[in-house]
Amino acid sequence: MHSLPNALRAWNTNEFQAVLKQEIEQMEAARLPLQQGLSSSSYVTDRPFQAMIISVREESNLIRAKAGIFYTGVIAGCSCADDPTPIDEQTEYCVLQFDIDRATAEATVTLLAE
């Protein structure tokens, strides 16, 4: 589970999307389903990722937000000392859905199919 308390506090304000974006970008990439969203590489790098809020709507007890995530991946090689293949980063993109509980700020994150 993830917690997005600042986004919940900012709900129904003009700052909500900016606060949500910032909180998403502060999450640990390893705790998000980015590995499953890879399309042109095989391993997610540890470089910072960027979020773009696509849509937000309120449902009964939750706030549902969709965010596009831009991140990098690499094609893992043998990593031999004499391997002439340079590590080539690939830009990756996936869409994640954040369901934020309006009572607790706890959020579940789901990878959406494109």
Which amino acid, residue 96? L
Per-residue pLDDT of the chain (114 residues; tens, 9 = 90+): 799 999 999 999 999 999 999 999 999 999 999 999 999 999 999 999 999 999 999 998 999 999 999 999 998 765 666 666 666 889 999 999 999 999 999 999 999 986
- Domain region containing 61: 2-112
For 22: left if phi > 0, alpha if psi spans -120 to 50, otherwise beta; the answer is alpha
CATH at residue 22: 3.10.450
Closest by CA to 35, choosing from 69, 78, 80, is: 69
Domain count, the chain: 1
pLDDT tens, position by position, 97-106: 999 999 999 9
Separation between Cα atoms, residue 58 and residue 111, nearest integer Å: 19
pTM: 0.89
